[in-house]
Structure 1
Amino acid sequence: MPAPYRAPATLLWRGALAFHTLTPIRFVNTSTLSIAYYDSAPRDSAAPVAILVHGFPYSIDTYVDVVPKLSAKGYRLIVPYLRGHGTTSFLSPSTPRSAEQAALGKDIVDLMDALSTDKAIFAGFDWGSVAVNVAAALGPDRCTGMVAANSCLIQNRQTAWATAPSPSLATRWFLYVLLTPQAYSALAMELDAAVPAFRYPDYVDIATNFYKNRLLYAPGDPAYAELAGDLDLLPVIRVPSVTLDPDQAPVFPATNGSSTAQHFSGPRVHHIVQGCGENIPLQSPQVFAEAVLEVAALGRRHN
């Protein structure tokens, strides 16, 4: 394996709080987006690649402690801002500001194409889990392994309003609040006091569209209609997978993985992450880094 490339990090001070960020930020264009991303190695690096995808309402800096752990093992880490987040922007004002699952997954593959990256490990949590689930399911030839919190979050839209137990509905109150115009307005007003990752023109549209689309309150972008139809069939994930359930995340209670087993046909290992909420990379960076290494080893054993 090539010698590890040690990338720079920036230490910022906000009052009494010191925190690291992933810098420098690079940019690359796809057919739809100018994607802002962090890259731990030069573009011509021969190192194996892992793409780390953040969730909502987070930024790429959730991976600031994961990157050096994997870089030290010889990996090149590509950490993109999701559409609508950070300095990732749309190339055209006429492109629908859709955060549907098909778009999030396609963005990962489009990023790889733009960077001339043939294959990579896909790893994510929250919205990032949705993105890597979709990319791995629809593009298994590009994915050498997948790490995902909460296993599989690909949605069949026909089940969007299926009856759910009351405790489940109670923990997902924010999904329904974000359907309202009041939530849109409140979120927009609060952004002036928020961190920089949220201070961008499309953030509110993307943040609310994700939930509206999943609950059928907003149509998808016609450009992704075929992919969206494929996802309604709940394609299985055939690549080697390591799935993680945090035991302190109220929206998705931790399980032993059996309830989602039907979504996987490739080799899979499932772990419960003790004492951790949904943001596993930030709260348990060692666990997340080890999951990436584990899925790489899982792939080697089954090739």
Structure 2
Amino acid sequence: MNNYLKPRRHTIAAALAFACAFGVAGASQAQSAAPAPFKTIKQIHAGALDVGYVDEGPANGPVVILLHGWPYDINSYVDVVPLLTKAGYRVIVPHLRGYGSTRFLDAKAVRNGEPAALATDIIDLMDALKIGKATLAGYDWGARTADIIAALWPQRVNGLVSVSGYLIGSQEAGKQPLPPAAELQWWYQFYFATERGRLGYEKNHHDFAKLIWKLASPQWKFDDATYERSAVSLDNPDHAAVTISNYRWRLGLEQGEAKYAELETRLAQAPNISVPTITMEGDANGAPHPEPAAYAKKFTGKYKHVLVPGGIGHNLPQEAPRAFADAVIEVGRL
């Protein structure tokens, strides 16, 4: 680590200790050794990107698209995919922009992380793969992306599984202050707003992401092999830029690209989601998340909420793959 950044170890350690004092850390839970990673990553040009993605299961099966969050990767679904393919689904798991083998086609393209851009990427991927409709499922950035697609392009969505529910926001909403305990959970968002934070994440994203994993899932005792398998995806040359862009956009510190302005205007109206939906939450999610009662009315179609017990944190599909896969299957029956 650069000598200039060594004192940050103490700052991060203090943040972890302070978070633990407010109940972010919890009892330990055993974690088995990491299963083998996906064997085959395909590539396809889709919109602005050359997308790396997993494509498993019967080619003529109903399609499920699984979307990962930050700072994770497609391996969040390594145990979910075989459960779904066994049930007859064709499962697509893409690396989002800034992760894994996904790259921008234009070297000069803006490394934009705003929500509408991420959602458009998935529509472009569906078009490139000639997928008319799919069930969408995700958590964190992936849940927000799936929510946006379900709200703006409901004709492309058979059903939705969204961890932490309705996550569509806007820059205007992001201006509103939260209670101090909630603001504490967003410490990294404010860190990323600074030049020091940008440089710090670029240089230390490996250790930074591991800290986030621990804070967001305080009872998930993942081993080093599990973490390292996903951490490789964060070495993408665009990862830090996309991450910083995402969080700065939320705070209104970046304007985003004009081509997404109309979509963001529609999203700022907090549109309802009418497709069949199951929202989920782990009982030990240490990351910022809304209460189910706060968003239930935003889902105007067939709807169900599932609380997953057992010390399950933010990365719900990796911590509770059976529960997540069951929700994907069930949403098609609502």
The answer to whether TM tops 0.5 is yes
Task: Please list every run of 5 or more consecutive structure 1 residues that lacks an aligned counterpart in the other structure.
Answer: 1-16, 299-303
Match of 1:73 among 76, 82, 87: 87
Counterpart position of 2:37: 21
Identical residues among aligned pairs (%) = 36
Letter in 2 for 1:153: L
Match of 1:244 among 263, 280, 300: 280
Report if aligned partners of 1:247, 1:254 keep a CA contact under 8 Å in 2.
no
Counterpart position of 1:124: 138
Report if aligned partners of 1:104, 1:130 keep a CA contact under 8 Å in 2.
no
Report if aligned partners of 2:281, 2:316 keep a CA contact under 8 Å in 1.
no
Q: Secondary structure at the match of 2:333?
A: helix
Task: Please list every run of 5 or more consecutive structure 2 residues that lacks an aligned counterpart in the other structure.
Answer: 1-32, 208-227
Q: Secondary structure at the match of 1:103?
A: helix
Match of 1:265 among 290, 297, 300: 300
Please give the per-residue CA displacement for 1:26-48, whole angstroms capped at 9, x wherever unaligned.
01112211111000036xx2100
Cα distance in 1 for residues equivalent to 2:96 and 2:62: 22
Structure with the higher strand share, 1 or 2 = 1
Relative contact order, CA 8 A, sep 6+: which one is greater? 2
Deviation at 1:236, TM superposition (A): 0.8
Deviation at 1:190, TM superposition (A): 2.4
Letter in 2 for 1:163: P
Q: Alignment RMSD, CA only?
A: 1.7
Deviation at 1:145, TM superposition (A): 0.2
Q: How does 1:79-90 map to 2 (within 5 A)?
A: 79-90=93-104
Deviation at 1:189, TM superposition (A): 1.5
Deviation at 1:192, TM superposition (A): 7.2
Q: Secondary structure at the match of 1:21?
A: coil
Normalised to the residue count of structure 1, the TM-score between the two structures is 0.88
Cα distance in 2 for residues equivalent to 1:76 and 1:132: 17
Letter in 2 for 1:171: Q
Counterpart position of 1:13: none
Counterpart position of 2:55: 39
Counterpart position of 1:165: 179
**Is 1:48 paired with 2:83?**
no
Structure with the higher helix share, 1 or 2 = 2
Cα distance in 2 for residues equivalent to 1:252 and 1:187: 20
Report if aligned partners of 1:85, 1:197 keep a CA contact under 8 Å in 2.
yes
Q: Secondary structure at the match of 2:98?
A: coil
Aligned length: 280
Please give the per-residue CA displacement for 1:168-220, whole angstroms capped at 9, x wherever unaligned.
11111111111111121122212578731011211100111111001111111
Aligned pair in 2 of structure 1 residues 192, 63: CA closer, same or farther (>3 Å)?
closer
**Is 1:174 paired with 2:188?**
yes
**Is 1:235 paired with 2:271?**
yes
Report if aligned partners of 1:86, 1:198 keep a CA contact under 8 Å in 2.
yes
Deviation at 1:95, TM superposition (A): 1.8
